[in-house]
Amino acid sequence: MYITVLFSLFVAFGLFSLASGHPNVLFVVSDDLRPALGTYGTRSVISPHIDSLANRSVVFTRAYVQQAVCAPSRTSFLTGRRPDSTKLYSNRGTYWRQAAGNFSTLPQHFKENGYFTASIGKVFHNGNVSGHNDDYPYSWSVPPFHPPTEKFTRAKVCSNPDGSLHQNLLCPVDISTQPGGSLPDIESTDHVIEILHNLSTHKPFFLALGYHKPHIPFKFPKEYLDLYPLEEITLPSDRHYPHGLPPVAWDPWTDVREREDVAALNVSFPYGPMPDDFSRKIIQHYYASTTYVDNEFGRVLKALSDKGLDNNTVIVFFGDHDNAEPYHQWRQETKQTARPKETHSVLLLWSCVYGNWHSCCARRKPFGQYQFPCLSACLSSLFVCLFRMKQNSAFSLRFLWHSQSKVFLWSTVATTTQ
């Protein structure tokens, strides 16, 4: 059966001491990031900064999100409510405050308890599903920052061998030739660094940073592609439509077909197959996009350290859901299904703010190898600051552990009865 463990139980363990003041929180989410990182065993992916953080963090190997679609997943982990409660199942739904209830969010709770809160990049899924303002001013102290070059996401800036520009799926670029002379994730990183340099030390912060990559299109600085020679890319062994699989379980991904480089392949509808050489390029570009995100995240970690904030900041790094596309000719295990591979999420948690838990958690192990008291001490570093706040019953951390399948689910929950 599922066992629900609330954060309040962690207090009973007495495994941490409460330090004076409140810790800062750096809350980083990467779009469509699957657990294909060095720390998750994919040694072919170059992710030194994420791996370095993981080496001193708790790494969850069985963390799953509620749904493998951006808007419902992000709304769920930011409100602590299931999609059935937020009434949001797609990226084209209705703002939950209007459709479901005036639910408090995780950043809102920090904001209402004295924190400076800011959203940089893609944190909430923007548009109607977050009120066309990323839930500002409820969740954020200042208007959310969206990188100026985000508006060129669908621009024809991808160069073909003949020099012509197109709207492609595969889009390594020379930054100097791009509109605005930059890319969204670079601008988001620059903005976070600027905030860190200018923040007052008298008020704790909750900075939520959302990277757009490795979501499609695979647009990134072209030098990252050199790290992944195409001849070293291997294809998955089984990329074919399983006999008897119902169509609802297999997505032909019409939005990918709309990209000009894919359209030029004239892949048969609905299920391909995709040519092997192009499939290798998809995997290559996904890996390169991941390394690009890793490098930008490394810049943030350096800025945090340079400012002397790393020892008083809880860092959470995770993906909003998996992305199976690079590993299949089409998304056989599409991110829009509820299969385990698509809801499987990267989740790292690091802090040395509270207590003396680091001695038992410094040597990283998969989730299942931790003794529960040690694990609870590590996790409580983030959420103890919520417990200390006046409205400490408003949020807690829910763990669901299925003893037979050994699956770990996590979410912040707004009430203990949710």
Q: Report, as residue numbers or ranges, the catalytic residues.
A: 70, 125
- Rounded Cα distance, 418 and 395, in Å: 10
Phi, psi values for residue 13, rounded to 5° = -70, -25
Secondary structure of residue 121 in the 3-state scheme: strand
Residue 34: both structure tokens together = 């699957």
Strand 313-319 to strand 347-350: parallel, antiparallel, or no bridges (unpaired)? antiparallel
Which string of DSSP letters, residue by residue, matches 147-196?
Answer: -GGGGGTTSS-EEPTTS-EE--SEEEE-GGGSGGGS-HHHHHHHHHHHHH
H helix or E strand, kind and range, residue 373: helix 372-388
Residue 292: both structure tokens together = 């690009």
Asked whether 212 and 204 are in contact (CB, 8 A), the reply is: no
- Measured CA to CA in angstroms, residue 291 lies from 31, 109, 212, 368 at distances of 13, 33, 13, 27
Nearest one of 280, 216, 192, 295 to 31, comparing CA atoms: 216
Asked whether 400 and 62 are in contact (CB, 8 A), the reply is: no
- Measured CA to CA in angstroms, residue 266 lies from 47, 159, 163, 260, 261 at distances of 34, 20, 22, 10, 10
Q: Is 414 left (phi over 0), alpha (psi -120 to 50) or beta?
A: alpha
Task: Match 């944190």 to its residue by tokens.
Answer: 123
Q: Is the dihedral of CA 179, 46, 69, 381 positive or negative?
A: negative
- Rounded Cα distance, 145 and 371, in Å: 40
Looking at this protein, which amino acid is placed at residue 101? G
Asked whether 288 and 220 are in contact (CB, 8 A), the reply is: yes
Total Cβ atoms within 10 A of residue 80: 24
Nearest one of 222, 333, 334 to 284, comparing CA atoms: 222
H helix or E strand, kind and range, residue 220: strand 218-221
